[in-house]
Amino acid sequence: MYMDQPIGVIDSGVGGLTVASELMRQLPKEKLIYLGDTLRCPYGPRPKEEVIKYTLEMVNFLREKKMKLLVIACNTATAFTLDILRETLDIPVIGVIEPGARAAIKMTNNMNVGVIGTEGTIESKAYPAALTSIHADLSVYDLACPKFVPLVEKGMFTGDEVYRVIEESLQPLKTIAEIDTLILGCTHYPLLADTIQAVVGKDVMIISSGEETAREVSAILGYQALLFEGERHPEHEFYTTGSSDVFEQITQQWLDITVNDVKKITISSNF
Amino acid sequence: MYMDQPIGVIDSGVGGLTVASELMRQLPKEKLIYLGDTLRCPYGPRPKEEVIKYTLEMVNFLREKKMKLLVIACNTATAFTLDILRETLDIPVIGVIEPGARAAIKMTNNMNVGVIGTEGTIESKAYPAALTSIHADLSVYDLACPKFVPLVEKGMFTGDEVYRVIEESLQPLKTIAEIDTLILGCTHYPLLADTIQAVVGKDVMIISSGEETAREVSAILGYQALLFEGERHPEHEFYTTGSSDVFEQITQQWLDITVNDVKKITISSNF
């Protein structure tokens, strides 16, 4: 049956595991097939055309699997390919930008929303577009934080050095406006959430795309009558274009999930 | 164009105005057509067949208006008619139960979720069904609070008397389980939220269906490419089967929204 099929999750690498982890938590009966393009990560600094090409190649690989829904768990890939994929595929396609934007609209009181992300995501202006197309009166303050992903990839989530880098990076945002809501517009950033919260202060509400995306996946599946209805403890499948050992280590270290049998694959460019 | 059409909102009376108010806040460019069946309110203590009949009569009236989406802003009506209306209508139909359930799943840490509502909603077991069909490991503790709606309808939201009634009513819930999340499963209850929060303590996260429903309406409209895309300050339309004066007063008093031209209508029973 269609509702028995898995949810596909694609990401530029391991960052999307924060989204996968929330999907597992909020939708424990749904099976995931995760593909991380670790070999060509990060997507953030790459030109738009390259991000589109790589993302379509990932989708091409996953197409052989029968998915009922696809999650683009990478902000940069969402910014550049969501519209294309919604037109191309005949299943629901959910990106990470709109759910974060909607959560910010729900939560902000003073209408000043901050967004941090990679260069690619911030330059795309996808968040300001998503936010103001729904709510024209919002003021959006966005900022690229190119130093954050390298911290996470080195396994540095807290500590003095991390605090210092985050404080310096967020300085422009702090002096511009009294934001009351901050969207973590990169799926790596939730791992830095505690330190980011300490830097911006407890009055700023921090929105993690992963949680919000999982929530919207649940809503869309529910609305389409596609939620799995029986009982099961699904075995998820993980694929990476890079080293499967490193992928397994990071999953264990970041998310406290043991993932065995990560398959290293090569993806072709025939879309 | 289809995306220019209004969102229909039906409720047993004025409680659904808390949902309408959140729709206005989160989706300020969307036009609403609200119908409250004040004459036959409350639906909570009525038998299922009657709630279905009355709700279908409301939908019948609104069908003449061209709506792009229908919100059932009443928990009791959602419990008994969501499935029927999804089968009957060719537009998306959103109830208030699933959004509240999904928000609780996102927020709970200890997997103990409380739900309070009218007798009809609680007896229907719609919340436990929605929660555990998605997440089988949740423990759900539900409780009918028949004294809450009369308080709200008398304009009593805070104060010693209100505190005492709420504390007494919630006593069974407090002694049963250490819930960390409480769903307000009735659209009147957000007006009592401050007092409910004081009674249950600040460590319990309170979920208001109105906020969560507006968020999911945004997600479904966005996913279906049905969000209004231009600029406008829509003039909403309000209809009631009861006194339009009382309806206008309550709207002003509850929500600090001035609503003029509330039209009193009579609805027919030909569905």
pLDDT tens for B2-15 read: 899 999 999 999 99
Cβ contacts from A onto B, under 8 A: 73
pLDDT confidence band for A242 (50 / 70 / 90)? very high
Round to whole Å and give the CA distance between A159 and A240.
30
Does any CB of chain A come closer than 8 Å to the CB of residue B129?
Answer: no
Does any CB of chain B come closer than 8 Å to the CB of residue A30?
Answer: no
The active-site residue, picked from B73, B186, B214, B259, is B186
Mean pLDDT of chain A: 92
Phi, psi values for residue B240, rounded to 5°: -140, 150
Told to judge if A41 belongs to the known catalytic residues of this protein, a careful annotator would answer no
Residue list, annotated binding site of A: 11-12, 43-44, 75-76, 187-188
B211 contacts A106? CB cut-off 8 A? yes
User: Strand, coil or helix: what is A77?
Assistant: helix
Please report the DSSP string for B194-211 in residue order: HHHHHHH-TTSEEEEHHH
B75 appears as a binding residue in the annotation: yes
Round to whole Å and give the CA distance between A36 and A242.
8
Condensed to tens digits (0 to 9), the pLDDT of residues A20-36 reads 999 999 999 999 999 99
**CA atoms within 13 Å, Cβ hemisphere of A117:** 33
A99 contacts B211? CB cut-off 8 A? no
What torsion do the CA atoms of B59, B64, B65, B68 make, to the nearest 10 degrees?
60
Does any CB of chain B come closer than 8 Å to the CB of residue A27?
Answer: yes
pLDDT value at position B271?
A: 46
Angle at CA A150, nearest 5°, toward A149 and A153? Answer: 85
Residues A200-206 have a mean pLDDT of 94
Residues of chain B short of pLDDT 70, as ranges, are: 1, 175-177, 268-271
pLDDT value at position A271?
A: 46
Residues of A in contact with B94 (CB under 8 A): 223
Does any CB of chain A come closer than 8 Å to the CB of residue B98?
Answer: yes
B88 appears as a binding residue in the annotation: no
Amino acid B164 reads R
Told to judge if B74 belongs to the known catalytic residues of this protein, a careful annotator would answer yes
pTM: 0.90
Residue A7 near residue B87 (C-beta atoms within 8 A)? no
Q: Which residue has the tokens 């996953």?
A: A62
Q: How far is B114 from chain A (nearest CA, A)?
A: 17
Does any CB of chain A come closer than 8 Å to the CB of residue B105?
Answer: yes
